[in-house]
Structure 1
């Protein structure tokens, strides 16, 4: 690696410019990756965080939870095929709320569930509610940015019901709207259900095996059993949004490979005579190839460190309202892939070095 380091020291400006381009590309890849992850969480974090294996929905709902309508009888049929501890009904209602004393409207989503079941949210501030609570709710803490705080009353614009916020959750959103958790007692009030009307849900969450899930789908008429990934794709705009951003990331990696390949190939062409002399005095092709790969990996590693620092710096000053989530797993995955792409980009240079004939190279230099 002595040769690689000596060359980097000798041609500082050349490799500085190459490294600068690598920093900019890696920075853009990490930023777009963090944005994609943030938008994914902002769109569907409530579903992503659910500790469930499958979801039962209406067959005609096209995998969209908010389109599905299941009756209490369907819930009983599902429980016959499994058990009550493994099932949890869930009601979903997109809505608009206003803070008491204010006319500002805020988009939100009601999640109605059993507050003692496995779908119950974790409350990070304040206190949770139980299944007998009246006019109380637990809301996502992103609503604080809209001026809401513990003890405030919010009014549902569609039903006219008023709820007191007793606690806040973290990272609970659905279709880019903060989730407000309520019990089924309040779910009945929202839908104005009288004693002679049967309660309805949007989906039934299951903690069960694939075999049981398939059995439920076959034995109960009019339902589909889907996994969480299918449910996520059914959220309006989720697949399109993620597909566009992932396509951008893929193209950035492809561009990075081409840019690195061109840069290092041009540099290699400029050094053919030197490589010929080195081969003539006994340097092997493998030795020269290892030096090129070392240069590429060293430049890439340093560029990644700088781009990671820049990305976290930008994330620190971004407003909380901007959905951006750069997890360590995402950074490590993107960095590892970038290192692989860099090595792939150097393959053209390695091929050119392997084809160098020492006598021809020295002759052309004479």
Structure 2
């Protein structure tokens, strides 16, 4: 490392430029990754954070929650199997605040008021079977629309009125905030829509393992049991968003590898004579190779650290409505991956160092 550090001190501008480019690439990787994670959460955090293991859907609906229609009879049959199960109704709609004309796009999630699907409350109260008109609202409506506890909302489709009893967090579906309502209010909102005289739901959430899944699928017909991940990926636009952003991230890693490989290879070519002289003086190839790899690692660690800091700085400049989420796990994983890409990119230069012949290099020295 002594030789590597001395060289970086001697050629400050050269290595500052390389570090600056790597910092920009790192920052871009983390920003796009944060946007991908934020969009994923904004598209289906209600599914991701759902306190259930599997969802029972109608078969032949491509695991789409909005296309599935199940009767309460199926819920009764599942519960008769001694399986923890609660109904889940889902409907995307628009609501207006009482006395105002501005529409707000939301998604209704209907379930048992005392069931395990009801999320934790961060402010106010949760669902109450004794007050079927009271609802639990995601904080996104509070943050963006100024909604308060006690406000009355009106469903544009059914005309039903809902009173905000409390707020929850991390509950969005297809980029819209979720409003949790009771089954009693759900039946009124459906405006009499039924199946064989019974109220209908879109899915049945269950808790359990693989044995529970086998039990349900073997006992019931015309249903399929899907994981939360499968239901999440079936949300419209989810796959398209994530695939596009993940491809951009992958290309950034490839670009980073090529850029660093070219930079260090050109620098190594310029130092061929110096490497030859050092070998003639007794420097081992392993020593020179170690200094090259050490130089790459040192420069990469500093650049990645600056890129992380730059990412958090830019995050603070984002408008509040932009979905951006970046976790510590993502920071560590992508930082290590960028470091590995940098080291791999330097292998071309390492090959050149190994091939340097001391006699030929000295012969070229004027």
SS in 1 for 2:232: helix
SS in 1 for 2:349: helix
Q: Tell me, in whole angstroms, the C-alpha distance in 1 between the residues paired with 2:75 and 2:271.
A: 74
Runs (4 or more) in structure 1 with deviation over 6 Å come to: none
Compute the displacement of 1:51 (Å). Answer: 2.4
Structure 1: unaligned runs, 5 residues or longer: none
Question: Which whole-Å deviations, capped at 9, do the CAs of 1:250-281 have from their partners, x for residues lacking one?
Answer: 00000000000000000000000111111111
1:117 aligns with one of 115, 118, 121: 115
TM-score normalised by L of structure 1: 0.97
The question of 1:58 aligning with 2:62 is answered no
Question: Which whole-Å deviations, capped at 9, do the CAs of 1:13-60 have from their partners, x for residues lacking one?
Answer: 000000010011000000000000000000000000012221110002
Question: Which whole-Å deviations, capped at 9, do the CAs of 1:64-108 have from their partners, x for residues lacking one?
Answer: 00110011111122223342xx21211101110111111111100
Question: Which whole-Å deviations, capped at 9, do the CAs of 1:203-232 have from their partners, x for residues lacking one?
Answer: 111211113202322331101111111111
The question of 1:182 aligning with 2:185 is answered no
Does the 8 A contact of 1:132 with 1:185 survive in 2? no
Question: Which whole-Å deviations, capped at 9, do the CAs of 1:158-191 have from their partners, x for residues lacking one?
Answer: 0100111111111110000000001111111111
Match of 1:98 in 2: 96
SS in 2 for 1:95: strand
Q: Tell me, in whole angstroms, the C-alpha distance in 1 between the residues paired with 2:352 and 2:322.
A: 47
Q: Tell me, in whole angstroms, the C-alpha distance in 2 between the residues paired with 1:345 and 1:313.
A: 28
Match of 2:13 in 1: 13
Q: Tell me, in whole angstroms, the C-alpha distance in 1 between the residues paired with 2:72 and 2:309.
A: 53
Match of 1:162 in 2: 161
User: Structure 1 stretch 212-221 or stretch 29-38: which is displaced more?
Assistant: 212-221
Q: Tell me, in whole angstroms, the C-alpha distance in 2 between the residues paired with 1:356 and 1:2.
A: 21
1:42 and 1:194, CA in 2 relative to 1: closer, same or farther beyond 3 A?
A: closer
Match of 2:334 in 1: 334
The question of 1:191 aligning with 2:182 is answered no
Q: Tell me, in whole angstroms, the C-alpha distance in 1 between the residues paired with 2:243 and 2:362.
A: 52
Q: Tell me, in whole angstroms, the C-alpha distance in 2 between the residues paired with 1:58 and 1:302.
A: 53
Q: Tell me, in whole angstroms, the C-alpha distance in 2 between the residues paired with 1:14 and 1:109.
A: 54
Does the 8 A contact of 2:33 with 2:326 survive in 1? yes
Does the 8 A contact of 2:114 with 2:127 survive in 1? no
TM-score normalised by L of structure 2: 0.97
Does the 8 A contact of 1:273 with 1:361 survive in 2? yes
Write out aligned runs for 1:1-366 (5 A): 1-83=1-83, 86-144=84-142, 145-193=144-192, 197-366=197-366
1:149 and 1:209, CA in 2 relative to 1: closer, same or farther beyond 3 A?
A: same
SS in 1 for 2:106: strand
Q: Tell me, in whole angstroms, the C-alpha distance in 2 between the residues paired with 1:320 and 1:216.
A: 43
Compute the displacement of 1:193 (Å). Answer: 3.7
Compute the displacement of 1:10 (Å). Answer: 0.2
Does the 8 A contact of 1:82 with 1:212 survive in 2? no
1:183 and 1:341, CA in 2 relative to 1: closer, same or farther beyond 3 A?
A: same
Q: Tell me, in whole angstroms, the C-alpha distance in 2 between the residues paired with 1:340 and 1:175.
A: 36
SS in 1 for 2:235: coil
Compute the displacement of 1:118 (Å). Answer: 1.5
Q: Tell me, in whole angstroms, the C-alpha distance in 1 between the residues paired with 2:117 and 2:100.
A: 32
Number of residue-to-residue matches in the alignment: 364
